[in-house]
Structure 1
Amino acid sequence: MNMNALSPYVRVAWDSIIDPPFIISERVIFDYELLYVKEGDIKVTVEDQVYYGIPGDIFLFKPMQAHSIELMNNKRLHQPHIHFDLFYQPDSPSVKVSYKPLKAMSEQERGAFREDVTPFMDLPLPNHIRLNRPIVIEKLIFDIIFELERKFPYHDIAAKGLFIQLWIQLLREIHWQNNAHLLSKWEQLDRVKNYLSHHTDHEITLDELSDLANLSKYYLCRLFKEAYGMTPIQYHVAIRLEKAKQMIQFTNLPLSHIAEKLGFQSIYAFSRAFRKVEKVPPSFYRKKS
């Protein structure tokens, strides 16, 4: 699924407080719902899978996914929650929130179900997430609720922007949970990345970076590629070429001088790197008068 095409529609956003005893019997919904547990303990059943939620947890209910909610330990539940479509559709504003089981729905109502696109995501989100940094998610949820309640000018666009930030935070949360080994080495990786970004005037060796990170060359390359999608040397070449493109476009410096300033051994090495990465020669970016 192309996340660049994400265009969410936030249907409703409510800040609900529920006193015990209380049960939401099994139901299905037309859209997606994010439920954040700010206070209380809950038992959530999703398609016969049971989860226990505590403050700081978040639940994602998906279209046509049977689920029920039960308050636990005689505690009240404070549950800000949001109903949304991940992609705006012409009928998005007219679709309502569902409180019915599937068997109680009419054929017309069943036609309102959104397609669940989460299985096609690079990083599918589970139904239950125990957040490492709940305060970030919590603030975004309450900001969305505030926008939809106050209805200031352009509140719907503001809510959409905030929701995209929220969705990104959830994806990052799952990414870090799935890659705890990267998170534990993030300080070293960030140190290497910053070093590469601030030393674009010469070539850098893996031995140099290995000493900087206090990691073996092999382990550093593997971690860096997992984190950023390329090796440290590939990243360094990429940012040097990006800087070169800016200099080619916005200065009148000769290409040979730009190559020298960015630490390439010759104009030929510079051109070769450009063609390999950009698929065009450096002169392609020079403004034509």
Structure 2
Amino acid sequence: MNNSVYKGAMMSNLSPALNQSFPNYKEQLILYGMRTFEAGQGPVCDLHLHHRMLEINIVLTGDQIARIGNESFTQHEGDIILIPPMKLHDFIVPEQQSMHGFVIHLQNVDSKLLYAFRACGEYLFARDHPLNERLNPLLKALISCLQQNPSAHRVFMLCNEMLVHLEEFVQSEALLSINEPNEQPLADRIAREIEALISTFNELGTDSSTSNWLETIAAKTGISRRHAGRLFQQAYGMSPRQYLSIIRQQEAMHMLVMRNIPLEVIAFRIGFENVQSFIRQFAKWTGLTPGAYRRQHKSTISYLTPLEVEPHAGHLSNHVPSATSE
């Protein structure tokens, strides 16, 4: 990659035209799960994914191993990993080691940018990588900023600057010029419809194991059930049913750890007809009953992003889990 091209990728010498109109813009960026963390040897988190969220993860001290899809990376001090939405991943600290890191999740990032980033196929950006050289000081400035109880404007300024650098990087790689395949918007819509099923199960009391939910989604998008499944598999490397199972599991795990909600309510909210069916399925997912999982993870901070992130558009504090810019 030509570093000089990267530095000036978004620069222009064009002079402003007289009487020129420009389009309106609306930003709905949501920041979720911003936290520093320490971990000893063993798993940092279980295998999971984030729906429509870009994860940025930096190791401040120590090392960790990142498993993203079918690939594995050793992330050293100062290295940054970027994980696109819908990508299964987990982190492990090597034996007899410990690490200190920071993570942030950004939702509603421009879809064209996300597609271009997926196309680059890179996840690990070592300390000497040009993109790391730009993101690293911004991430450390963000950590310092968050520790000082900042305004939302200052936090979003730093995050948007990081996204600009990511945009410049993919543009320098000539990836922004690659058009999304016509099927990608359909795959994204199918994903959103699957996520919306959770609230539908809640409202209608529908059992996802017996309902014809995929046929309904396919009909909404104007394609056949088989074509919907094929598009989704090609875009995300999993079937629609696998994705629904993953997000149901993650919703259940998040509610068990982060909210004091009875098991019956959790089971109903994610589409189970009764609590016994939910308990059996949860044990298959995790090897633990919901009650045992809640007790074992009672004091942990959840790394999972719930489907309905509650935006907070005002002043940020340590007690606010997410923020949004509109």
TM over 0.5: no
Of structures 1 and 2, the larger Rg is shown by 1
Higher relative contact order (CA 8 A, sep 6+): 2
**TM-score (norm. length: structure 1):** 0.43
**TM-score (norm. length: structure 2):** 0.38
